[in-house]
Amino acid sequence: MAELTDVQNQTLRDEIEEFLERPEEIERFVELFTRAKPLLQEIAAAIVEGDDDVVDELTARALAEGIEAIEIMDDGLIGGMGIVGIKFRENFVFVPEVLSCARAMRAGMAHIEPILSASGVEKQGTVIMGTVKGDLHDIGKNLCIMMLRGSGFDVIDLGVDVAEDTFIDAVEDSGAKVLGMSALLTTTMPNMGRTIEAFIDADIRDDVLIMVGGAPVTQEFSDDMGADGYGADALSCVAVAKELFAAA
């Protein structure tokens, strides 16, 4: 098992030591950052510090050095955001700081997206994606969209705080066969179920297959509300979309 001293990056070592308390979370981040390449550790540290200029520069450098876009995303960008999430949960940082970190994350994603999208894979169909009503979290949804586009899907991004009717209009207007909903708040998760009910009420539930995701969402919750698929991360979002298209 890796030890905290095995993490090369001083900022990340300090962050783990000062802010992480749960043994399983300490272990997870120590493992992740011990394995992550030094440059990706620097990217994670810059995300934690909310420094978008540094994330911008280092992500470009990592790509220029030949590091895979997915590896930069997982070990650098998502790794750093994971620490931010814990600090936010434990009230060590507040909304303004998290917004800076989210801006830094976007600066990195801006380099990754064109690469994933240009991978030249076979076209797969159209997916509609949106974060449900009342919810402004879009980092995870945007990562899913990047991965979907990179896997050959056309994606209609409805953005955040998307009302039931907007989802319905988008399906009717585009004829898309798959719809993905994201929610990050326990208070907005029920809006996924309400949206599914709105599709039933509009008599078009059979026209579209619906997948759901977001940190608090589980397979059980997805089954209970009558969704057709659930994915825990951006990779499984692509896998679920493929399965749903195969079943459509």
Give the binding range for ligand B12 (CB under 6 A) out of 40-48, 58-66, 88-96, 164-172. Answer: 88-96
Q: Which of residues 225-244 bind ligand B12 (CB under 6 A)?
A: 231, 233-234, 237, 240
Regarding 186 and contact with ligand B12 (CB under 6 A), the answer is yes
| Identified binder of ligand B12 from the candidate list 67, 212, 225, 244, rule CB under 6 A | 212
CB-nearer residue toward ligand B12: 134 or 226: 134
CB-nearer residue toward ligand B12: 66 or 96: 96
C-alpha of 80 from chain center: 13
**Contact assessment for residue 69 and residue 115, using Cβ atoms and an 8 Å cutoff:** yes
Residues ≥6 apart with Cβ < 8 Å to 120: none
CA 61-67-71 angle, 5° bins: 115
DSSP letters of 71-126? HIIIIIIIHHHHHHHHHHHTTSS-HHHHHHHHHHHHHHHHHHHHHHHTS-PPP-EE
| Identified binder of ligand B12 from the candidate list 45, 81, 132, 155, rule CB under 6 A | 81
- Smallest distance from the beta carbon of 56 to ligand B12, in angstroms? 17
The helix (run of H) or strand (run of E) holding residue 180 is strand 178-182
Regarding 50 and contact with ligand B12 (CB under 6 A), the answer is no
Give the binding range for ligand B12 (CB under 6 A) out of 4-12, 34-42, 107-115, 176-184. Answer: 176-184
C-alpha of 104 from chain center: 15
Instruction: Give me 43's structure tokens.
Output: 């990217």
Q: Please work out the total of residues on this chain that contact ligand B12, with binding judged by CB under 6 A.
A: 38
Tell me which residue of 194, 231, 185, 217 sits closest to 89, measured CA to CA.
185
Residues ≥6 apart with Cβ < 8 Å to 85: none
Regarding 184 and contact with ligand B12 (CB under 6 A), the answer is yes
| Identified binder of ligand B12 from the candidate list 25, 56, 88, 194, rule CB under 6 A | 88
Regarding 99 and contact with ligand B12 (CB under 6 A), the answer is yes
From residue 130 to residue 149, what is the string marking binding to ligand B12 with x (rule CB under 6 A)? ----xxxxxxxx-xx-----
Give the binding range for ligand B12 (CB under 6 A) out of 9-17, 150-158, 197-205, 214-222. Answer: 214-222
End-to-end CA distance of the chain, in Å? Answer: 45
Regarding 76 and contact with ligand B12 (CB under 6 A), the answer is no
Q: Identify the three-state secondary structure at position 130.
A: strand
Residues that bind ligand B12 (CB under 6 A): 78, 81, 84-85, 88-89, 95, 98-99, 102, 134-141, 143-144, 180-182, 184-187, 211-216, 231, 233-234, 237, 240
